[in-house]
Structure 1
Amino acid sequence: MTTIDRRTFLSGMTWAAAASLLPWDARGAVQRSAGMNDNGVIINALGGLGDPNLGSDALVPELTPRVLAEAHASGLTAVNITLGYVSGPEDPFEASVRDIAATDALVREHTHDVTKILTAADIRRAKAEKKIGLIYGFQNGAMMGNDAKRVDIFANLGVRVFQLTYNPANQLGDGSMAKENRGLTPFGREVVARLNARRVMVDLSHSGEHTCLEAARVSTAPISINHTGCRAVTDLPRNKTDAELKLVAERGGFIGIYFMPFLNASGHAHAEDVVANIDHAVKVCGEDHVGIGTDGSVTQIDDLQAYQASLAKEIAQRQAAGISAAGERPDTYPFVVDLRGPQQFHKLAQLLAQKGYSSSRIEKILGLNFLRFAQTVWGS
């Protein structure tokens, strides 16, 4: 008798059928979330498609049946996924090209579930076809080396979001943890101009304040801060000052609020902290410029205790490598503990409604603001 493993068996199933074979608690979350967001566009300006229960540190999506089932059930329309080099000993250029090629292969393998996003129209098409749009993005400009023309290579490969720095400084500018806070370098300004010319989104998440303000001023297109919090609410370097938020919005940009520990000084953020940061950003920027960039996946974590043990090791490695941010500790989760899993977007919508937000404003925050911004930068 021929036997096949469970993953191979499930790979040919629809996400709804796969959901029926999930563990009972996960299946219940899928069922509770299914159908609740069918009419709206939900865009995660920075997130992932992966299973934190598997313990992988790869950036390339993990399109397992469970990941796809819970992503579909969450109502997710599109997500900006991080590919390529962020830190470490690998060659930044080679690592970035490799990740793009590997993700392209996954998209070809899972055409019924996912699609690659190049334009705003592609996001609308993903919604109509009930697929999840993958927006290719970087979180470090190190792969540029000293050649701004590499922007053309990555734009041609489909990269649509380019975050200039991670937490430390690089050859483009200073990150949020760089003490000098020097702003863009001349090369950084050259790269921004090239990104503008190729209609690639310039993302200032993780940047230092002066780098962000300068990029907003020199860019000929609106810029974004795809995943951040508000420093006026919680004073940590990874959060943005009102000056940054206001300037980005005034120039037509986009701000995504994350579901991260930096939203609370204790390091233990809750859903109310996400709402408080969204509310502050809306007051500073206006309701047309604020969205979500969770910096996480929608796949539920089955064993938080086991996950925390592996997380403590990861935090120690990040600190040793000099890439961690103030507010990261072994006891902090990289997510909001009561706003996770496939129901997270629906729950956030409920909380915003309880705050007094209208349905139209909630729809803007959950996806329409990013879609409008993407159309401005990428075209229709």
Structure 2
Amino acid sequence: MTTGMIINALGILDNPNAPHSLAAAHKLVQDSEDLTVDERTIADAHDSGLTAVTITLGYTIGDAEPYAHTLREIEVWDRIIAEHSDDLVKVLTPDDIRAAHRDGRIGVVYGFQNAVALDYDLSRVHQFRDLGVRVIQLTYNQANELGDGAMAPDNRGLTPFGREAVEALCDSRIMVDLSHSGENTCLDAIRLAKLPVSINHTGCRALVDLPRNKTDEELRLVAESGGFVGIYFMPFVHPTGHARAADVVEHIVHAVNVCGEEHVGIGTDGSVTSIDDLDAYQSRLAEHVAQRKAAGVGAAGERADTYPFVVDLRGVGQFRRLIELLAQRGFSDERIDKIMGRNFLAYADRVWTA
């Protein structure tokens, strides 16, 4: 069995069983101070085989002032990494991921899931890069100043500021992440960007026709740009929302068929520490889903009777289980190594290295 790097293009470092964690409280607004990066979090990440993970920090949704909130979030994560320096390392270059793999630490890539903190000020792109941000997603599900998210009804393309922002992100060698974007915004950004772009966590719309999944055209153009597509462990990979590990495999297989084996990986959108009490979690899930819908940030396919993860592809064994399933589908160790991490690292080499 393969023993290569495991790089999660979008994930979470948190113990969701802690009383005040994001998952335990079903909080609508991301606040990194609510994360619990404790001994179990670190131990589970190591036990899972994780090499590096892109985390979400900064403003995504809510009433906080985006720029100030984002700066505070970066400070919080700098402190978390400093407090766990034997186990975590802030990723600024592809070689930091290689060093993490060599040294048995976990690389932490700083990423945004909404670019509104730019607030029409392109100098902030350079500021965020200087602070260590390496991935910026243009939109969340709703529309913003750059373009439309997947749930925005008008499906506009990039706005004039969005076009300027994509150019500035490329100039700063920050990954342009098109997850959550509307189709026209995504296509515009792919065609405009001077560097390869990514969709760090998505599914394939050809298999499940939901707005959060990407069309074959989007997937193919990302690959042709030299970019990267990460498949998520989310309910959107099955039409009922009751997703299983086999569904994730089907989306990976389809993405490889469309994009080629050099451009597909994983972006789970979840943690490696399992929720221990699923019944208690389920009892509060309906309220959380309703809150997201009322705030206009929910996605089609989010329902109270489904989990925001794949129930049989979670916990410390999730990556090993996926590797087993891919091998059963006839994938070679070399192809599996690419999907589990090498493709993201190669993409990072193309974008982050001048």
The Cα offsets for residues 179-224 of structure 1, whole Å up to 9 and x where unpaired, read as 1111100100101111111100000000000111110000000000
User: Structure 1 residue 378: deviation in Å?
Assistant: 0.4
Q: What's 1:338 paired with? A: 312
Tell me whether 1:115 sits opposite 2:79 in the alignment.
no
Q: What's 2:12 paired with? A: 48
Further displaced range: 148-157 or 348-357: 148-157
Return the match for 1:270 from 244, 251, 264.
244
Further displaced range: 305-314 or 354-363: 305-314
Asked whether the 8 Å contact 1:59–1:82 carries over to 2, the reply is no
Q: Which amino acid aligns with 2:298?
A: S
Q: Sort the Cα spacing of 1:310 and 1:51 in 2 relative to 1 into closer, same or farther, 3 A.
A: farther
Return the match for 1:86 from 60, 65, 87.
60
Tell me whether 1:291 sits opposite 2:265 in the alignment.
yes
| Pairing 1:55-70 to 2, within 5 Å after superposition | 55-57=20-22, 58-60=30-32, 61-70=35-44
TM-score by length of 1: 0.89
Further displaced range: 306-315 or 293-302: 306-315
Q: What's 1:246 paired with? A: 220
Q: What's 1:303 paired with? A: 277
Query: C-alpha distance in 1, partners of 2:284/2:78?
Result: 29
User: Structure 1 residue 59: deviation in Å?
Assistant: 4.3
Asked whether the 8 Å contact 2:135–2:174 carries over to 1, the reply is yes
Q: What's 1:170 paired with? A: 144
Q: What's 2:199 paired with? A: 225
Query: C-alpha distance in 2, partners of 1:322/1:179?
Result: 11
Query: C-alpha distance in 2, partners of 1:368/1:309?
Result: 39
User: Structure 1 residue 332: deviation in Å?
Assistant: 1.2
Percent identical among aligned pairs is 61
Q: What's 2:25 paired with? A: none
Query: C-alpha distance in 1, partners of 2:57/2:166?
Result: 19
The Cα offsets for residues 328-361 of structure 1, whole Å up to 9 and x where unpaired, read as 0111111101000000000000000000000000
Tell me whether 1:328 sits opposite 2:302 in the alignment.
yes
- Segments of 5+ residues of structure 1 without an aligned counterpart are 1-35
Q: Which amino acid aligns with 2:350?
A: T
Asked whether the 8 Å contact 1:53–1:307 carries over to 2, the reply is no
Query: C-alpha distance in 2, partners of 1:283/1:59?
Result: 38
Q: What's 2:100 paired with? A: 126
Query: C-alpha distance in 1, partners of 2:118/2:291?
Result: 25
The Cα offsets for residues 63-84 of structure 1, whole Å up to 9 and x where unpaired, read as 2000111000000000000001
Larger Rg: 1
- Segments of 5+ residues of structure 2 without an aligned counterpart are 23-29
TM-score by length of 2: 0.96
Tell me whether 1:75 sits opposite 2:49 in the alignment.
yes
SS of the residue corresponding to residue 115 of structure 1 reads strand
Q: Which amino acid aligns with 1:346?
A: R
Asked whether the 8 Å contact 2:234–2:269 carries over to 1, the reply is yes
Q: What's 1:153 paired with? A: 127
User: Structure 1 residue 147: deviation in Å?
Assistant: 1.0
